[in-house]
């Protein structure tokens, strides 16, 4: 074999060996950007956070190891309240953002539905809205004055005004409504894609057997969407426990009575307001452990690992 540029003869065996090496190295070159970004932006911060959780950091040159003291000092009423608020928020968002998007997706998947493309776009639009803009709107709409949007609408029906963001239950309601408004369309897209994998013949056979719409939903649609449901629940657990922006926009740095204090919000308070990065790092590692445990439990209950082992 000859080289086109120099005219030199390259042995066939040597050329094959060079081509084999090039094919062997090429995959590593393509995945190298991901590996580098993973090491720099994910693995290194986790390792550094674990180390910082055992340190007292008073300055760049004033760092001392304190063992598990940060983990002991973080356990107080604020920590317990943050876990309770975050867990309630995660539960209610999953409770709403799994069944409701399934029902919406089923309706939008019907070919005889008029304007379904318009509704698909409309449901997805809130996900493109900035969380700051959405949070400010909900903060104003759910204000405590008589002239705010929600209180004004309730006043038309003779319902007294509420201080929505100053009471524990109504504050949770506002956060869940905000989350539902933003992420409903995203989950609808997930379930719409899952519906495309369910054979139409199953619905036709069920219709011949006399099954009604509810029976089709529970015995065909929901089982067929199980992989998508598991995925949505998994990312919802992470999203629920990682929630910070919505709470911060609605309540500010400190909510009244900590009614809007989440675990990430507590990490923010410890790290940036109290300048206690050691306790903040301990809270971050604890949050990571909680999310992993909760997801492992729900994946086990849904049979994810059993399916993989089979």
Do residues 231 and 126 share a domain?
Answer: yes
**How far is residue 73's CA from residue 64's CA, in Å, rounded to a whole number?**
16
In a domain, 4, yes or no: no
In a domain, 46, yes or no: yes
For the chain, the residue count is 310
**CATH for 214:** 1.10.3720.10
Q: Is 109 helix (H, G, I), strand (E, B) or coil?
A: coil
Do residues 41 and 145 share a domain?
Answer: no
What tens digit of pLDDT does each residue of 151-176 get?
Answer: 999 888 888 888 899 888 899 999 99
Do residues 84 and 23 share a domain?
Answer: no
Q: Which two tokens stand for residue 113?
A: 């539905």
Q: How far is CA 309 from CA 135, 152, 195, 300, 301, in A?
A: 43, 56, 25, 12, 14
Stated pTM of the model: 0.85
Do residues 19 and 88 share a domain?
Answer: no
45: how many CB neighbours lie within 10 A of its CB? 12
Instruction: Return the pLDDT at 309.
Output: 46
Domain of residue 150 covers 69-309
Do residues 104 and 181 share a domain?
Answer: yes
Instruction: Give the distance from CA 216 to its chain's centroid.
Output: 29
Cβ-contact 264, 248 below 8 angstroms = no
Do residues 140 and 34 share a domain?
Answer: no
Q: Is 63 helix (H, G, I), strand (E, B) or coil?
A: strand
In a domain, 111, yes or no: yes
Do residues 18 and 132 share a domain?
Answer: no
**Which H or E run includes 288?**
helix 277-301
CA angle 288, 129, 86 (to 5 degrees): 30
Q: Which residues of the chain have pLDDT under 70?
A: 1-22, 307-310
**How far is residue 232's CA from residue 294's CA, in Å, rounded to a whole number?**
14
Instruction: Return the pLDDT at 302.
Output: 82
Do residues 97 and 46 share a domain?
Answer: no
- Total domain count for the chain? 2
């Amino acid at each position: 074999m000859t080289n086109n540029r120099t005219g030199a003869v390259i042995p066939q065996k040597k050329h094959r060996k060079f081509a084999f090496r090039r094919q062997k190295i090429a995959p590593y070159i393509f995945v190298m950007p991901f590996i580098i970004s993973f090491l720099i932006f994910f693995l290194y911060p986790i390792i550094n956070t674990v180390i910082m959780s055992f340190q007292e950091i008073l300055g760049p040159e004033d760092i001392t190891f304190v063992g598990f003291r940060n983990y002991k000092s973080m356990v107080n009423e604020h920590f317990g309240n943050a876990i309770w608020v975050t867990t309630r928020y995660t539960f209610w968002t999953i409770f709403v953002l799994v069944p409701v998007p399934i029902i919406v997706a089923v309706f939008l998947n019907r070919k005889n539905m008029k304007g379904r493309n318009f509704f698909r776009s409309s449901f997805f639009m809130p996900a493109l809205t900035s969380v700051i803009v959405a949070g400010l709107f909900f903060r104003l709409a759910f204000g405590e004055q008589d002239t705010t949007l929600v209180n004004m609408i309730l006043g038309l029906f003779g319902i007294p005004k509420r201080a929505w963001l100053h009471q524990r239950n109504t504050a949770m309601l506002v956060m869940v409504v905000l989350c539902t408004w933003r992420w409903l369309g995203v989950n609808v897209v997930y379930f719409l894609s899952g519906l495309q994998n369910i054979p139409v013949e199953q619905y036709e056979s069920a219709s011949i057997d006399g099954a009604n719409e509810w029976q089709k939903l529970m015995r065909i649609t929901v089982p067929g969407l199980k992989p998508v449901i598991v995925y949505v629940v998994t990312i919802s657990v992470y999203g629920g426990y990682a929630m910070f922006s919505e709470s911060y926009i609605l309540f500010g740095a400190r909510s009244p009575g900590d009614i809007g204090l989440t675990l990430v919000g507590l990490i923010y308070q410890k790290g940036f307001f109290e300048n206690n990065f050691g306790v903040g790092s301990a809270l971050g590692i604890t949050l990571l452990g909680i999310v992993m445990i909760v997801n492992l439990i729900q994946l086990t209950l849904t049979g994810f690992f059993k399916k993989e082992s089979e």
